[in-house]
Amino acid sequence: MKEELDSSDMEYAVFAIRQQPILVAVARNLCGRNASDCADLVQDVLLRALLKWDMLQSWTEPERRAWLVRVLHNRFLDQCRRSRSEAATVINLGNVHKLFEEPDAPDLELWECITEAELRQAVATLPYNLRRTFEMHSEGLRHAEIGRHLGAPVGTVGTWLFHARHRLRDQLRGMAEARRKRGNG
């Protein structure tokens, strides 16, 4: 028995077919050359649109398209956050050196003399903008994303991160060197 599509289903099908090339282009920009990830992302967004079709039907075409692109972008960010391993995002003794990687950074073994609690305490003493910038950067966010969260230009975010690193380095270096000299590190 052949089922016929009602007008709402047909309208959604036409809408989805018309929007798919736009979504694929945006997904390629986000996902790179991974065709499988692009296709999965587009299908996920179109499924969400189908589930919300009753709401979307009353919207104009540009509003629907904007909603689709926003959902696609949010789903991409969700996937990135989910795929990031916890070990890479948590500040701990195993990865603290990555936060301080610069040509003039001290040897790694010096940072092994700092406890995680001391690092967290030092970060907590930073002024708000420096602290939030450092925390978001250590979570893997890029300068532009941090700027959007904090309402600051990308250049300012870079400056805040620079100052945060230098303040932490100055604050923790003395403690680490003293502990290493005492032989307690």
Domains of the chain (ranges; CATH) run 7-83 (1.10.1740), 87-182 (no CATH)
Percent above pLDDT 90 for the chain: 22
The dihedral sign for the CA sequence 168, 90, 83, 24 = negative
The pLDDT value given to residue 18: 92
Please determine, for residue 111, whether its predicted confidence score (pLDDT) is greater than 70. Answer: no
Q: Give the pLDDT confidence of 63-104 residue by residue, as tens digits.
A: 999 999 999 988 888 887 776 644 345 555 555 555 555 544
- pLDDT for 122: 86
Burial of 53 (0-12, 13-18, 19+ CB in 10 A): middle
Token pair listed for 90: 């948590």
Gap between the Cα atoms of 156 and 99, Å rounded = 18
Confidence (pLDDT) at 135: 86
Residue 35, pLDDT > 80, answer no
- Please state the pTM of the whole predicted model: 0.44
Please give the average per-residue pLDDT across 118-139, as a whole number.
Answer: 88
Residue-averaged pLDDT of the chain: 79
